[in-house]
Amino acid sequence: MRYSAGERRRGGRGASIARLLDMAASTAAVGADMRGLGVLLAAVAAICLLQASWGLALTPDDSIPRFLKSIELCKENIVADERLLHDYDAEMRGLTENDSASAKRRAEIRILKKHYNDEIEALRKKIVEYYKKIQEIRESGKDGGS
């Protein structure tokens, strides 16, 4: 039977198989300890999910203060985007030349303005959704900290 150079250094095929068996046994021992921890974590997660799905507790994401903070953030972003749109309008009015660089910049500004207008519309829709969620929370009687 021929052995490779690495197998000869380690003592042949039998030695490498013994090492593999030792590694498997130590991995199994560690796995048994980890399984106990995994079962415990899974049980805690299941209890938390069931409690939230039964409506016994609000998740931190479903609280009125969180929605109010998100609404304020959306309003701030709308103001910032409208400020940018105003700046782009001023720049567009300043571009009166008919050279290729000005035409290219006007096209870029149109694209940017469309993006920011779409962003503002999306933020306004988010605000409406947040107000609807706040109303649903108040109607269900789960005040959520407000």
Residue spans of the domains in the chain: they are 5-53, 60-140
* Interval 32-43 mean pLDDT: 58
Residues 13, 21 contacting (CB under 8 angstroms): no
- 51-67 pLDDT tens trace: 655 554 555 557 899 99
What pLDDT, on the 0 to 100 scale, is given for residue 26?
Answer: 62
pTM score, two decimals?
0.55
Q: CA 101 to CA 105: how far, in whole Å?
A: 6
Residue 118, CB-side half-sphere exposure with 13 Å CA sphere: 6
Query: At residue 56, what are phi and psi to the nearest 5 degrees?
Result: -80, -25
- 88-134 pLDDT tens trace: 999 999 998 888 999 999 999 999 999 999 999 999 999 999 999 99
